[in-house]
Amino acid sequence: MSDTNHPLLANLNDAQREAVLHTGSPLLILAGAGSGKTRVITTRIAWALETLGTRPQSVAAVTFTNKAAREMEERITSMTDKALGVTVRTFHSFCALLLRMYGSACGINTSFLIYDETDAMTLLKNLLKQQYAKNEIKQLFEDIMRAKDLCIAPDGDVERINRNPAFAEIYRQYEERLAATGNLDFGDLIMKTVFLLREHSDVRAAVQMRFSTILVDEYQDSNAAQFILLKELYGPGTSLSVVGDDDQSIYSFRGAEISNILTFHESFPNTRVIRLEQNYRSTGRILAAASAVVSHNQGRLGKTLLSTRGEGNKISLRFVKDNETEALQCAKLYDENPDMETAIIYRVNSQSRSFEEVFTRFSIPFLLVGALRFYERAEVKDAIALLSLFVNPKDEIAFRRIINTPVRGIGEKTLASILEYLPEAKGDVLESLRLSLDSLSKRARSGAQVFLALYQDLAGQMDLTTTSMFIHEAMFKSGLYDFYRGQDKAEGTAKYQNLEELVSAAQAFPGGKDALATFLEGTTLRAPEYEEPAGKRVMLITAHNTKGLEFDRVIITGCEDGVFPMIRTNMWEEPDREAMEEERRLFYVAMTRAREQLILFSARRRLLFGRWSDSSPSRFLAEIPQETLDIKDNTSKPESMDTRFQRGDRVFHDDFGYGFVVESSIKEGNEAVKVRLDSGRTAVFIPEYTSLMKVEGE
């Protein structure tokens, strides 16, 4: 065969090529960071399509995050023009697809909507708030989610999760209420698919026939339910490949089990295991440092990972006074080298704040990934709730949310009385509202009538216009537009704009109920796509979200004990080695995102809950070999120079107007302040002799 000359195989090493070419039994690629796992899996797909005659419709590539799915699809498309029709989705989205295709076999309404975590929690709260305290409900909710991660139904082995006999009953009631709405929660997507395949051999056969080539990326983050799902999907003719790295397992909090990858070869007989041992991403120093850190974990498989690149620069470790200085120094790093592709990585979303503030102040372009997600904003959820009722009129959670927003005189009491008609209305909330009309107070009744008329009106339009127009009309006629415009005016928010964005997000949809349903699925299962950095934008991103990505320059911020590693506040609990090892893996993931340059920041104190709290350096820093480090400590001197102006200060000068301080230092006994004026010019002032004033930032 002239295989090795094929252009698809040209950019692969021997082990990678072997992995791409392997056929005839399950394949496990087990390899460290940056070893080309994703490259292999995408090439494998392209290879199958190009040379094995595999039909694109039969290929399912499954990932854990939306970003990974999007990226993989792009990579495949760039390799072959036969990629059209390949299914590249997250586990959850793939299961939603299967349930819509085949779910009617097990009594699932195939136009179900998907409840996100908040909606599902609301459902449970409504069920339990009389009898249980808030934190108890939270715990019970977590247990239910946990049960679904393990694929345990209420009549299953629930004692494994919660011994309390009441738990099984609560779980059962939750399922009943959820079933009454006809919607599914995240865990259901996997669990219900497993049950569907397990109990309906005809469906299983059809699905195995349809998806005969299955590939899973980041397999170390699969949970029990997903493992069982794979077993159900795996048939006699299935080509199954999984890739992963046990050192990068970072999702145990949502049920991920490293054992899935460690025992894959036992669960799937004749598995071919291939290891990749060359790292193509990072410089030698970065790789050495990251490997040294993760080697402190016990119970690893252990892997060889050799650098293919030069030593590179040392890793820069910088101690700073506080989190604002941290952000200012990041701004300075940007200024020094604005063209370098850069990610600022942190442990928790709330850390993004100081960066957003400082970067906005300095007009540094940035891209905030993930944070408070668009579709989770209150105003957007309100809009989605209203729209949901047109797809599923049994959606009680949506009804509760939107019936009195904007206010229609229907408060908690009235709402409860309306919902008493639900059984009679066969679960249809609008029918229930109609039935209750006579029993309502005057004010509530008129509100209810307005809402019913609105619903009728819009329902009549749904099939006559595009999805985007329909949403626009719904926002307008429901009064949501006016409501949020008013709020924006009063509070200086930008919620109306978000509603407009929702309208334009639906641009591509043709209109009608099915399109609306698809659009709504996207709002819970897919993050809105952001345009790929057209210009150079600094990416602000959590460590979890960086998995699979790479950047020339990586800045890991908040390298302090308690922040990274995040440490549970329960001091009485004994230190959890497992949890600490997962933090270390997460740190490893963050470090190994860097190609050229890795910078670590550790602040002495940090504003937390509006309080300054002192912190000590991350324990992981001590695990990095000294010879790979270049340490700068800027925490001791700054008080002594005592400049009145500091970088970032907003200033005003009588003759030159407003500007921002770029730098301020003591020169020959006087303070010299370098200012970038709003006019674009830069000037140096000596406040001793001129009228330079600090003003509050806008």
Partner DNA sequence: CGTTATGGGTTTTTT
Partner DNA sequence: ACCCATAACG
Q: Compare residues 330 and 440 and give the one whose CB is closer to DNA.
A: 440
Would you state the structure tokens that stand for residue 113, as one six-digit string?
A: 């909507």
Segment lying near ligand ATP (by CB under 6 A), choices 11-19, 220-228, 265-273, 684-692: 11-19
Question: For residues 520 and 181, what is the distance between their CA atoms, to the nearest angstrom?
Answer: 16
Instruction: Verify binding: residue 698, DNA, rule CB under 7 A.
Output: no
Query: Could you tell me if 252 and 582 are in contact, meaning their C-beta atoms sit under 8 angstroms apart?
Result: yes
Number of residues written out for the chain: 698
Interface pick for ligand ATP out of 8, 15, 26, 35 (rule CB under 6 A): 35
Token digits of residue 417: 């009385």
Mutual orientation of helices 378-391 and 495-505 as an angle, nearest 10°? 40
- Tokens at 182, concatenated: 């006809």
Identify the active-site residue in 50, 73, 119, 218.
218
**Residue window 529-548: x/- pattern of binding to ligand ATP, with contact defined by CB under 6 A:** -------------------x
Tell which residue, 380, 404, 400, 379, has the closest CA to residue 389: 400
593 is catalytic: yes
**Cβ distance to ligand ATP smaller for residue 64 or 362:** 64
38's contact among ligand ATP, DNA, none, with CB below 5 to 8 A by partner kind, is ligand ATP
Q: Give, as ranges, the residues between 374 and 393 that touch DNA (CB under 7 A).
A: 378
Q: What are phi and psi of 150, to 5 degrees?
A: -90, 0
Min CB(249)–ligand ATP separation in Å: 11
Span of 6-14, 231-239, 253-261, 336-344 interacting with ligand ATP by CB under 6 A:
6-14
- Give Cα 556 to chain centroid, integer Å: 18
- Residue 592 touches which of DNA, ligand ATP, none (Cβ within 5-8 Å per kind): ligand ATP
304 lies in the site for ligand ATP, by CB under 6 A: no
Handedness of CA 120, 124, 125, 126 (dihedral sign): positive
Number of residues engaging ligand ATP in binding (CB under 6 A): 19
DSSP codes joined into one string, 493-548: --HHHHHHHHHHHTTT---SHHHHHHHHHHHHHSPPP----SS--EEEEETGGGTT
Task: Answer yes or no whether residue 132 interacts with ligand ATP by CB under 6 A.
Answer: no
The answer to whether residue 618 forms part of the interface with DNA (CB under 7 A) is no
Catalytic-residue membership of 248: yes
Is residue 287 a contact point for ligand ATP (CB under 6 A)?
Answer: no
Closest CB to DNA among residues 251, 390: 251
Instruction: Give the span between the Cα atoms of 624 and 291, in whole angstroms.
Output: 9
Pick one of ligand ATP, DNA, none as the site partner of residue 663 (Cβ within 5 to 8 A by kind): none
Which residue's CB atom is positioned nearest to ligand ATP?
Answer: 36
**Spatial separation of the C-alpha atoms in residues 581 and 595, rounded to whole Å:** 24
482 is catalytic: no
> Whole-number minimum distance, CB 484 to DNA, in Å?
14
- Could you tell me the smallest distance in angstroms from the CB atom of residue 63 to DNA? 9
Whole-number Cα distances in Å, 121 to 135, 223, 253: 12, 21, 17
The nearest distance, CB 4 to ligand ATP, in angstroms, is: 13
Sole binder of DNA in the list 302, 610, 669, 680 (CB under 7 A): 610
Let me know: does 433 contact 395? Beta carbons within 8 Å: no
Helix 442-461 / helix 429-436 crossing angle, nearest 10 deg: 140
44 belongs to the binding site for ligand ATP (CB under 6 A) = no
276 phi and psi, to 5 degrees? -115, 130
Q: 3-class SS at 237?
A: coil
Q: Per CB under 6 A, does 12 bind ligand ATP? A: yes
Question: Shortest approach of ligand ATP to residue 483 CB, angstroms?
Answer: 44
Q: Does 312 bind ligand ATP (CB under 6 A)?
A: no
Active-site residue, 561 included: no
Host H or E run for residue 120: helix 117-128
**606 contact, one of ligand ATP, DNA, none, CB 5-8 Å limit per kind:** none
Could you say which of 50, 71, 119, 217 is catalytic? 217
Nearest residue (CB) to DNA, 37 versus 401 = 401
Interface pick for DNA out of 37, 75, 82, 92 (rule CB under 7 A) = 92
Nearest 5 degrees, angle CA 91-CA 92-CA 95?
Answer: 85
Among 692, 656, 653, which Cα is nearest to 672's?
A: 692
Q: Which does 113 bind (CB under 5 to 8 A by kind): DNA, ligand ATP, none?
A: none
Neighbouring C-beta atoms of residue 291, cutoff 10 Å = 21
> With CB cut-offs between 5 and 8 Å by kind, which of DNA, ligand ATP, none does residue 13 bind?
ligand ATP
Cis before 565 (ω within 30): yes
Q: Which of 17, 39, 44, 67 binds DNA (CB under 7 A)?
A: 67
Binder among 55, 160, 332, 413 for DNA (CB under 7 A): 413
- Residue 217 annotated as catalytic: yes
Helix (H) or strand (E) segment spanning residue 685: strand 682-685
Torsion of CA 634, 635, 636, 637, to 10 degrees: 50
- Show which residues are catalytic: 37-38, 217-218, 248, 593
Per CB under 7 A, residues contacting DNA are: 64-67, 90-93, 116-117, 129, 134-135, 186-187, 250-251, 253-254, 347-350, 370, 378, 404, 407-414, 441, 443-444, 447, 525, 527, 542, 544-545, 566, 568, 579, 608-610
Per CB under 6 A, residues contacting ligand ATP are: 11-13, 16, 31, 33-39, 245, 248, 280-281, 548, 550, 592
